[in-house]
């Protein structure tokens, strides 16, 4: 990222292509890179600069997109935990990627 927190597109592209060389993934990389850079740009465009304390979400959006897209494109024969992967993929399809927050214990249960 640069000094403003924006993703450096050339560095992101080089990083992804240099670090993700699995044969099943290589054919998907250009599509994944384009999609994730778009999400990072969109996050920057929608970031409010009025709050000096807030961080530019571009980097985390790009990283999250990269993780999500790799998981969604992973062929079954490469998956080590089918049950967990299937649950994750279903959540992504429903746009529920984040796990729900843990339920807080009732005060009565704490005593």
> Is 86 a domain residue?
yes
pLDDT digits (tens, 9 = 90+) for 26-76: 999 999 999 999 999 998 887 777 777 788 889 999 999 999 999 999 999
Count of structural domains, the chain: 1
Looking at residue 111, what is its pLDDT? 46
Nearest to 25 by CA among 61, 75, 87: 75
- Single pTM value for the model: 0.76
Name every residue whose Cβ is closer than 8 Å to that of residue 88 and which is 6 or more positions away in sequence.
71
pLDDT range class, residue 3, cuts 50, 70, 90: confident
Residue numbers of the domain that contains 45: 9-110
């Amino acid at each position: 990222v640069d000094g403003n927190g924006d993703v450096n597109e050339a560095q992101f592209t080089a990083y992804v292509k240099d670090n993700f060389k699995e044969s099943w993934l290589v054919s998907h990389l250009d599509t994944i890179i384009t999609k994730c850079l778009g999400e990072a740009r969109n996050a920057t465009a929608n970031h409010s600069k009025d709050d000096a304390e807030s961080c530019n979400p571009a980097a985390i959006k790009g990283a999250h997109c990269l993780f999500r897209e790799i998981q969604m494109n992973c062929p079954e024969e490469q998956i080590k935990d089918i049950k967990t992967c299937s649950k994750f993929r279903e959540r992504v399809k429903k746009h529920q990627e984040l796990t729900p927050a843990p339920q807080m214990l009732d005060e009565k249960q704490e005593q």
